[in-house]
């Protein structure tokens, strides 16, 4: 292993599971289905596929190359590649700050999910009347203590995995959880598709409606592609530094991207047929999972109870492997500053939990909801920054560095494992995407986002 901290994944399979674990998360199961439905189903899907494979996957490969080439954390990697321009370190710092903010908001939503898993298990959700789910959610999420308890529990679990180490913690947990996640999701899909009236849900997800695909929808597709693949913030630089030296970066990236995409689509298949079969509103937006789905589960009787437990467990596990990658990026950076790994993980967790708790207090009618920054509650502000602004900005800077400042010979050498893997004409195509297509697309979407 050649990382500065001496950590690394033991095999390509382990690396794929860990990176897919980072990619597959709340973004796939909670966010993708409702934006896909909102912006025209199949029409959105077409644009999304292009962004995922032509920009997201290209960025992932680029981050892997930077990480493995340098064996450094995301801040030190840039100046190590071009020592005469130390200012590029700033891109790594911006990525790290973004990771910190994403982790804070991620913890809040993961805390809600863990609470809903608990309430499914104990039967609390089953006892709520249909019309009361909206109220139940807002009362819970706006309360002071209960969300904080679940945020704390979730974070403790995440921190313990990080303390376990890269191979014995992250890799082992991902190898265990990712297959479980796929099985749980497939079970849900089969059940959902066999309900009466399920076909309407499938049509909602796949039938293209180009009238709904607005400029805002295209922006959402790009933001979602970056967020879902965990690219642009340096997390994949960190995981790249843990890749085995003989790992084929192209193959690994294709596997992770296909896996992430498939799980997003399967999540839509698990959710919408059930929503339609039970006559509920598919445009529930962000509240779909916490306010509409529990109603759907309740209307399915005893089977619905199991469905509910499985669904929230699935969501919590997916969130866990993603939160792990965010905390790992922060921990790796701090531990490369000569702080021990355990101390780094604990210090970073302690810092991020403060922001997560403040965001939770600011949500809805929470005790700090009156406190506004730029006219927004803290939760809304974090959501906006991490959902639409910071990831594309960081991604743009990363790709400009990669395409225009890093030496092409280094890139080709790393992609081909020092000439031992045949990459054929792919290099030419890849380089074209990296230098022109990805930065221009990112820039256009960012500028149009600003004008929106």
Q: Could you give the CA distance from residue 343 to residue 225 in angstroms, rounded to a whole number?
A: 33
Q: 208 forms bridges with which residues in the sheet?
A: 41
Residue 61 — φ and ψ, nearest 5°? Answer: -60, -40
Q: At its nearest, how many Å lie between ligand PFF and the CB of residue 356?
A: 15
Q: At its nearest, how many Å lie between ligand PFF and the CB of residue 372?
A: 26
Q: At its nearest, how many Å lie between ligand PFF and the CB of residue 446?
A: 17
Q: At its nearest, how many Å lie between ligand PFF and the CB of residue 36?
A: 14
Residues in binding contact with ligand PFF, number by CB under 6 A:
16
Choose between 102 and 295: whose C-beta lies nearer to ligand PFF: 102
3-state class (DSSP) for residue 372:
strand
Residue of closest CB approach to ligand PFF: 27
* 16, 134, 135, 291, 298 from 295: Cα distances, Å: 36, 10, 13, 7, 5
| Contacting ligand PFF within 193-232 (CB under 6 A) | 227-228, 230
Q: Could you give the CA distance from residue 305 to residue 424 in angstroms, rounded to a whole number?
A: 52
When binding is defined by CB under 6 A, the residue of 8, 14, 25, 164 that contacts ligand PFF is 25
Task: Name the token pair of 356.
Answer: 């997560």
Four-point Cα dihedral 70, 74, 77, 79, nearest 10? 180
Binding of ligand PFF at residue 120 (CB under 6 A)? no
Q: At its nearest, how many Å lie between ligand PFF and the CB of residue 365?
A: 26
Choose between 31 and 341: whose C-beta lies nearer to ligand PFF: 31
* CB crowding 273-288: b at 16 or more within 10 Å, else e: bbbbbbebebebeebb
Q: At its nearest, how many Å lie between ligand PFF and the CB of residue 32?
A: 8
Binding of ligand PFF at residue 23 (CB under 6 A)? yes
Choose between 137 and 227: whose C-beta lies nearer to ligand PFF: 227
> Are the CB atoms for 68 and 61 separated by under 8 Å?
no
> Are the CB atoms for 226 and 235 separated by under 8 Å?
no
| Contacting ligand PFF within 246-305 (CB under 6 A) | none
Q: At its nearest, how many Å lie between ligand PFF and the CB of residue 321?
A: 9
3-state class (DSSP) for residue 373:
strand
Q: Could you give the CA distance from residue 249 to residue 412 in angstroms, rounded to a whole number?
A: 11
**End-to-end CA separation in angstroms for the chain:** 47
Residue recorded with tokens 């990831």: 391
Choose between 45 and 278: whose C-beta lies nearer to ligand PFF: 45
Choose between 237 and 415: whose C-beta lies nearer to ligand PFF: 237
Q: At its nearest, how many Å lie between ligand PFF and the CB of residue 95?
A: 8
Choose between 55 and 277: whose C-beta lies nearer to ligand PFF: 55
- Cα 36 from chain centroid? 16
Choose between 96 and 434: whose C-beta lies nearer to ligand PFF: 96
Site string for ligand PFF, 320-359 (x = CB under 6 A): --x--xx---------------------------------
Q: Could you give the CA distance from residue 80 to residue 153 in angstroms, rounded to a whole number?
A: 38
Choose between 23 and 359: whose C-beta lies nearer to ligand PFF: 23
Q: Could you give the CA distance from residue 81 to residue 337 in angstroms, rounded to a whole number?
A: 19
Instruction: For residue 343, give every residue at least 6 positions away whose Cβ sits within 8 Å of its Cβ, in sequence order, or none.
Output: none
Q: At its nearest, how many Å lie between ligand PFF and the CB of residue 28?
A: 5
Q: Could you give the CA distance from residue 450 to residue 218 in angstroms, rounded to a whole number?
A: 14
- Cα 359 from chain centroid? 19
| Contacting ligand PFF within 40-99 (CB under 6 A) | 99
Contact range with ligand PFF by CB under 6 A, out of 25-33, 71-79, 180-188, 351-359: 25-33
Choose between 181 and 198: whose C-beta lies nearer to ligand PFF: 181
Q: At its nearest, how many Å lie between ligand PFF and the CB of residue 289?
A: 13
* 99, 119, 186, 205, 274 from 192: Cα distances, Å: 34, 21, 10, 13, 5
Choose between 45 and 198: whose C-beta lies nearer to ligand PFF: 45
Binding of ligand PFF at residue 5 (CB under 6 A)? no
Residue ranges that bind ligand PFF, judged by CB under 6 A: 22-23, 25-28, 99, 102, 227-228, 230, 233, 235, 322, 325-326
């Amino acid at each position: 292993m050649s990382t500065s901290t001496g950590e690394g994944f033991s095999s390509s399979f382990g690396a794929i599971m860990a990176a897919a674990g980072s990619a597959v998360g709340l973004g796939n199961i909670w966010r993708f289905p409702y934006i896909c439905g909102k912006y025209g189903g199949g029409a959105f899907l077409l644009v999304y596929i292009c962004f995922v494979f032509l920009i997201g996957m290209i960025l992932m490969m680029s981050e892997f190359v930077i990480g493995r080439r340098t064996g450094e954390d995301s801040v030190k990697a840039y100046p190590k590649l071009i020592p005469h321009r130390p200012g590029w370190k700033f891109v790594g710092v911006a990525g790290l700050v973004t990771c910190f903010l994403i982790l804070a908001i991620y913890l809040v939503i993961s805390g809600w999910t863990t609470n809903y898993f608990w309430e499914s298990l104990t039967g609390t959700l089953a006892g709520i009347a249909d019309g009361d789910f909206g109220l139940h959610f807002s009362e819970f999420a706006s309360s002071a203590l209960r969300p904080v308890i679940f945020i704390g529990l979730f974070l403790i679990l995440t921190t313990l995995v990080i303390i376990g180490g890269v191979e014995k913690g992250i890799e082992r947990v991902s190898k265990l959880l990712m297959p479980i996640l796929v099985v749980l999701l497939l079970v849900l899909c089969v059940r959902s598709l066999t309900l009466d009236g399920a076909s309407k849900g499938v049509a909602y997800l796949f039938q293209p409606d180009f009238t709904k695909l607005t400029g805002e929808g295209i922006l959402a597709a790009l933001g979602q592609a970056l967020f879902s693949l965990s690219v642009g913030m340096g997390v994949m630089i960190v995981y790249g530094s843990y890749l085995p030296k003989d790992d084929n970066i192209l193959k690994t990236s294709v596997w992770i991207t296909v896996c992430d995409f498939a799980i997003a689509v399967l999540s839509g298949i698990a959710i919408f047929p059930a929503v339609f079969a039970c006559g509920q509103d598919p445009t529930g937006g962000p509240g779909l999972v916490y306010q509409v789905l529990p109603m759907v589960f309740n209307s399915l009787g005893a089977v619905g109870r199991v469905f509910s437990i499985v669904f929230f467990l699935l969501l919590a596990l997916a969130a866990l492997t993603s939160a792990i990658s965010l905390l790992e990026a922060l921990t790796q950076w701090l531990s490369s500053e000569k702080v021990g790994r355990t101390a780094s993980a604990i210090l970073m967790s302690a810092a991020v939990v403060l922001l997560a708790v403040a965001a939770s207090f600011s949500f809805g009618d929470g005790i700090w909801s009156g406190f506004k920054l730029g006219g927004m509650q803290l939760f809304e502000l974090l959501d906006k920054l991490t959902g639409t602004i910071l990831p594309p900005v960081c991604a743009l800077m990363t790709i400009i560095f990669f395409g225009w400042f890093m030496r092409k010979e280094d890139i080709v050498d790393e992609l081909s494992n020092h000439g031992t893997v045949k990459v054929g004409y792919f290099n030419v195509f890849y380089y074209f995407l990296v230098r022109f297509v990805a930065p221009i697309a990112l820039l256009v979407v960012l500028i149009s986002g600003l004008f929106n």
